[in-house]
Structure 1
Amino acid sequence: MLQTAVAHTPLATTPHTPQATTPRTPLATTPPTPQAAHDAPRHPSPTTPVLDQEFADPDVVAVGGVYHAYATNVAGRNVQHAASTDLVHWTVDDKDVLPVLGDWVRPDPPHDVWAPEVFDNGDGFTLQYTARDRVGGRQCIGAAVAPSPGGPFRPVGGAALVCPTEAGGAIDASSYTENGTRHLLWKSDGNCCGLDTWLHIQPVSWDGTRVTGEPVRLLKQDRDWEGGLVEAPTLVKRDGRYVLLYSAGDYRTAEYATGWAVADSLTGPYVKGDEPLLTTRSFAGAIGGPGGQDVVTGPGGRDRILFHGRGADPSRRALYVADIGFADGRPVVRGSKTLYEAELARVHRAAIRDAKDAWGGRAVGHIDEPDSFVEFKVYAVSSGAHTLTVRYGNGSLDASGAPAAATHTLTVGAAPAGVIPYPYTGWD
């Protein structure tokens, strides 16, 4: 975490200073210095797909120095599979790693085999998958096993693993382990039928083929940006806190996005972040509808996030990878701009006011005194170069009443980091 302050630098000809509206901090737009010489090559840009084809809802598992990725059905394959040694260069498997579905799946297509989850069960590998139930037609979650991560996986049991038809069914399996217990995270698919969508956590057997306890609700849709549904849970523990990543909105649109919430205990309560983590806007339109995420420890021990999004070809959801870091449980993704509101920062000897053109309708103004400042806690992925962008308004006049430029001094920590010039714009 960095302490970033913008303070007033008095100018003899500038009786008024800019009113800070929405400081925006796109973090780590310049890659940091590599941590070690043996690190795998970093992809040049998080906004360039590492697999430029349909590869939605990616899941990744590391096995013996090889990363295996799995994705939602496409082109006659129930589950896609690709492999990489560096998370950048991928070899796509041309076979279906789940060629046969469980007996509980309806026999006629479409089977809608979505969002696979694969993990090492100690005696091989388990694949949890979503498909259409033959009885009620809702999507439910089943399990399959294989001796190796490349499959083929074979279904286990005659019934679905989780199938709450009264709640709309279940989709988007994800696995989390703690203290020798495996937990299954899943979404109740209530948006299919006018119900709430809840993310749940539920204990399962170590091989993930049987439930061993009741589900616990973690969170549901309650933010405007979520577009009426939440899904695709991913749970990690960092800095002693539980960080729940999730997707929300209509996956067919650019409004699809990735959010986050934190808790001090496994079952919550989970507190959502003020803003989503990955959005079309945070990537400046270079990636549309980023979501379906997974987190894995990459080469060199760095956390990486893999997710799908729509790039130059909006008809397909390609695979992207980026660095992800955490500060007191707060996630930050390299290349995804993080918005910091001036009025929510530490404001000293200045005023928070209403401003119709400011983000959120409020702004900080009257930063007029020598000791006036606005201080932000800025969270970055890692050390290296970062970019700070400040949105402002400046209606300053000089002694003759003519428009005048103004400046603020920027400090990072206790060290000066430069001077920000503000050309005249007028007030809103």
Structure 2
Amino acid sequence: MIKIVNLLMFLVVCFLSAEAQVKPVNPLDVPFGDPYIIFDDNSDTYYMYGTGGVTNGFVAYSSRDLKNWKKEGIVYTAEQEKSWGTKDFWAPEVYRWEDKFYMFYSAHWKENPNNELENYKIGIAVSSTPTGPFEDITGKPLFDPGYPIIDANVYVADDGRKYLYYSRCCYKHPVKSEIADWAKKKGLYDEIEESWVYGVELKPDLTGVIGEPVLLLRPPVKRNDMQAEWESRSVTSKEINRRWTEGSYTFKHGGRYYMMYSANHFAGENYAVGYATADQPLGPYTKATNNPVLEKNTHKGGLVSGTGHNSVLITKDGKMWCVYHGRTDRTGQQRMVFIDEMKILDDGTLEVQGPTHKEDNK
């Protein structure tokens, strides 16, 4: 009997140890903004990409367990013949299709006849390995909608069609709303600029887009909108005269399309994540009533703020994780990577079980 009990205890310990091994400890020792992780079956390895780590390019990290990360070095650089970007290389996302790895990213376009301060566009680079080197495909941005764009995300539908989601920058995009009227009446700002999320179908060969972009998400117009309070904190806290809807990530679950997105200033403490759902890849999308699903916890005695620009990772054991960046009082303005488990309940409600911090477990 004693032997059986000891055996059971040993198995329990092994099970708990295995569970602990796959749970990341936040923040990770990876100084990234806009983190994105893929799993490569061939190497049984996770690869992470993000904003930061090198000037005018991108670096990558690798891991077998999501806890211990190895820096793989520079995987993309603007010092190449087909580079079209000059600065502000942001938000890389990498996808594997037909044994090739495709990196979608944002940068400042060198063709800038009007000398715009934010001349951002989206490009695509390709590599035969997840660690690069990634080379630009065409030597120019994917397309030009007539305004600056960032934060590319791609969803591949069941029929193989690819959809690109992106954010129109706030730059030179003043929008009338009750929040803008309130800010002007209070003497805070004369106008409020906004960023909006659009979606458009990609050409199969990735050389352009099909049709016209569709507006999918934007900040609330009415002050009594249930989303208005949390999506307007950058304005109401007197931080800046902008309201963002950016960093979107789209996936399908249970026949519904989920689009997660970030609101407020990426460099501020109020950066937070919400989501919306739709029946079709290009909407219409309806924002969830339980937004935001990820936000700072400092007002509750926690240590984490500036939580946002997330992606979603399904690990090889089938768990769903929310990958995002955040800050603590110890990391200061440096954005660090966090990974917290997320779930979709039986009624379709999405929940992120974070932000967590390593000191929460002490």
* 1:331 counterpart letter in structure 2: L
Q: Any idea what SS the aligned residue of 1:94 has?
A: strand
> Is 1:180 matched with 2:160?
yes
Hey, what does 1:57 align to over in structure 2?
34
**Quick one: distance in 1 between partners of 2:313 and 2:172?**
31
| 42 and 203 in structure 1: CA distance in 2 versus 1, 3 angstrom threshold | same
Q: Greater CA deviation, 238-247 or 277-286? A: 277-286
Identity %: 29
| 40 and 182 in structure 1: CA distance in 2 versus 1, 3 angstrom threshold | farther
* 1:273 counterpart letter in structure 2: A
**Quick one: distance in 2 between partners of 1:131 and 1:292?**
17
Hey, what does 1:5 align to over in structure 2?
none
Hey, what does 2:272 align to over in structure 1?
257
**Quick one: distance in 1 between partners of 2:54 and 2:106?**
17
| Unpaired runs of at least 5, structure 2 | 1-12, 175-192, 221-227, 233-242, 357-362
Hey, what does 1:411 align to over in structure 2?
none
**Quick one: distance in 2 between partners of 1:297 and 1:40?**
17
Hey, what does 2:6 align to over in structure 1?
none
| 36 and 124 in structure 1: CA distance in 2 versus 1, 3 angstrom threshold | farther
Hey, what does 1:91 align to over in structure 2?
70
> Is 1:277 matched with 2:293?
yes
Hey, what does 1:379 align to over in structure 2?
none
Q: What is the correspondence of 1:405-416 to structure 2 with a 5 Å cutoff?
A: none
| 331 and 61 in structure 1: CA distance in 2 versus 1, 3 angstrom threshold | same
* 2:335 counterpart letter in structure 1: R
Contact kept in structure 2, 1:162 and 1:170, CA below 8 Å: no
| 326 and 158 in structure 1: CA distance in 2 versus 1, 3 angstrom threshold | same
* 2:304 counterpart letter in structure 1: I
Contact kept in structure 2, 1:104 and 1:133, CA below 8 Å: no
| 292 and 163 in structure 1: CA distance in 2 versus 1, 3 angstrom threshold | same
CA displacement at 1:255 relative to structure 2: 0.8
Equivalent position to 1:160, from 141, 152, 161: 141
Contact kept in structure 2, 1:236 and 1:242, CA below 8 Å: yes
Q: Any idea what SS the aligned residue of 1:97 has?
A: strand
Q: Any idea what SS the aligned residue of 2:230 has?
A: helix
Q: Greater CA deviation, 59-68 or 274-283? A: 274-283
Q: Any idea what SS the aligned residue of 1:310 has?
A: strand
* 1:333 counterpart letter in structure 2: V
Equivalent position to 2:218, from 191, 209, 220: 220
Contact kept in structure 2, 1:140 and 1:170, CA below 8 Å: yes
Greater helix percent: which structure? 2
Q: What is the correspondence of 1:176-215 to structure 2 with a 5 Å cutoff?
A: 176-178=155-157, 179-191=159-171, 193-194=173-174, 195-206=193-204, 208-215=206-213
Hey, what does 1:134 align to over in structure 2?
110
| 34 and 82 in structure 1: CA distance in 2 versus 1, 3 angstrom threshold | same
**Quick one: distance in 1 between partners of 2:206 and 2:327?**
32
> Is 1:240 matched with 2:255?
yes
* 1:159 counterpart letter in structure 2: K
* 2:283 counterpart letter in structure 1: G
**Quick one: distance in 1 between partners of 2:264 and 2:94?**
25
Count of matched residue pairs: 297
Q: What is the correspondence of 1:114-125 to structure 2 with a 5 Å cutoff?
A: 114-125=90-101
Equivalent position to 1:303, from 317, 320, 339: 320
| 41 and 49 in structure 1: CA distance in 2 versus 1, 3 angstrom threshold | same
CA displacement at 1:264 relative to structure 2: 2.2
Q: Any idea what SS the aligned residue of 1:314 has?
A: coil
Equivalent position to 2:334, from 291, 316, 329: 316
**Quick one: distance in 2 between partners of 1:34 and 1:269?**
47
Contact kept in structure 2, 1:126 and 1:207, CA below 8 Å: no
| 181 and 35 in structure 1: CA distance in 2 versus 1, 3 angstrom threshold | farther
| 58 and 336 in structure 1: CA distance in 2 versus 1, 3 angstrom threshold | closer
Contact kept in structure 2, 1:40 and 1:300, CA below 8 Å: no
Equivalent position to 2:343, from 325, 328, 339: 325
**Quick one: distance in 1 between partners of 2:60 and 2:124?**
17
Q: Any idea what SS the aligned residue of 2:57 has?
A: coil
CA displacement at 1:210 relative to structure 2: 2.8
**Quick one: distance in 1 between partners of 2:14 and 2:306?**
29
CA displacement at 1:304 relative to structure 2: 0.9
Equivalent position to 2:306, from 269, 273, 289: 289
Query: CA offsets, 1:258-309, max 9 Å, x none?
Result: 1111122222221112321111038753211111111011141111111000
| 207 and 84 in structure 1: CA distance in 2 versus 1, 3 angstrom threshold | farther
**Quick one: distance in 2 between partners of 1:60 and 1:176?**
15
> Is 1:171 matched with 2:150?
yes
| 248 and 270 in structure 1: CA distance in 2 versus 1, 3 angstrom threshold | same
Identify the structure with bigger relative contact order (alpha carbons < 8 Å, sequence gap 6+): 1
Query: CA offsets, 1:20-73, max 9 Å, x none?
Result: xxxxxxxxxxxxx9999966723365xx2122x421101111111211110113
**Quick one: distance in 2 between partners of 1:50 and 1:269?**
36
What TM-score, normalized by structure 2, do the two folds share?
0.75
> Is 1:41 matched with 2:41?
no
* 1:118 counterpart letter in structure 2: V
Q: What is the correspondence of 1:370-409 to structure 2 with a 5 Å cutoff?
A: none
Q: What is the correspondence of 1:12-23 to structure 2 with a 5 Å cutoff?
A: none
Contact kept in structure 2, 1:226 and 1:248, CA below 8 Å: yes
| 295 and 42 in structure 1: CA distance in 2 versus 1, 3 angstrom threshold | same
